[in-house]
């Protein structure tokens, strides 16, 4: 069974705007050896599952530097300092799509990658999402909102049109919500 390691020393290694790198020197409880681990400290994120009154998902197409490709995703982003996750969800939905929701429902949260990331991603259902104005994009964003039939999601995942792991997790949380009887 895994045991907690004792952190002997922590050092900041760099600030890169959306995350900072930290080196943790930790002692193995099994061997007593000290090993260096590199951790990315990042703000929490939100991912929104916006559903229109007609039952379609409000998705986005956005170029991503990590894959050098335009990806099909759900809206989302960083929770700003002092902001609640639900406030960030409403803001990101409005900024990225121009939509607003009648109701925001918390679906859950997860650690995106506990091996190297310190943050959590919070998932929200935005029910009865309707156009409410213009997008408010950052200078480094070019986002095209697109409506997708819910029935298309399995095919889009299978053919890797939708391949962002956090987005797939958000859709899984939405599916769990529907199956829970809370819907």
pTM: 0.95
| Cβ neighbours around 81 below 10 Å, total | 6
For 45-180, CATH gives: 3.90.79.10
Share of the chain above pLDDT 70, in %: 99
Distance CA 165, CA 149 (A): 19
Give per-residue pLDDT as tens, 27-80.
999 999 999 999 999 999 999 999 999 999 999 999 999 999 999 999 999 999
Smallest CA-to-CA distance from 126 within 86, 172, 166, 79 is with 86
Sequence ranges of the domains in the chain:
6-41, 45-180
Please, are residues 109 and 33 in contact by the beta-carbon 8 Å criterion?
Answer: no
List Cα–Cα distances, 140 to 23, 63, 98, 103, 137, in angstroms. 29, 10, 17, 29, 8
pLDDT for position 24? 98
Distance CA 21, CA 99 (A): 35
């Amino acid at each position: 069974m895994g045991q907690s390691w004792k952190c002997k020393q922590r050092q900041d290694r760099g600030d890169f705007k959306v995350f900072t790198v930290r080196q943790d020197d930790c002692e193995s409880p099994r061997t007593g050896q000290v090993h260096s681990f590199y951790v990315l400290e990042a703000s929490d994120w939100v991912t929104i599952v916006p559903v229109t009154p007609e039952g379609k998902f409000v998705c986005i197409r956005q170029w991503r530097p990590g894959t050098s490709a335009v990806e099909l995703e759900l809206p989302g982003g960083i929770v700003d300092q002092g902001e609640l996750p639900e406030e960030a969800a409403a803001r990101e939905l409005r900024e990225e799509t121009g939509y607003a929701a009648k109701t925001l429902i918390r679906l859950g949260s997860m650690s995106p990658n506990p091996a190297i990331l310190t943050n959590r991603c919070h998932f929200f259902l935005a029910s009865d999402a309707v156009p409410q104005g213009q997008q408010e994009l950052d200078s480094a964003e070019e986002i095209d909102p697109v409506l997708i039939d819910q029935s298309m999601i399995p095919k889009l995942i299978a053919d890797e049109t939708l391949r962002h792991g956090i987005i797939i997790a958000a859709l899984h949380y939405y599916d769990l919500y529907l199956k829970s009887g809370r819907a």
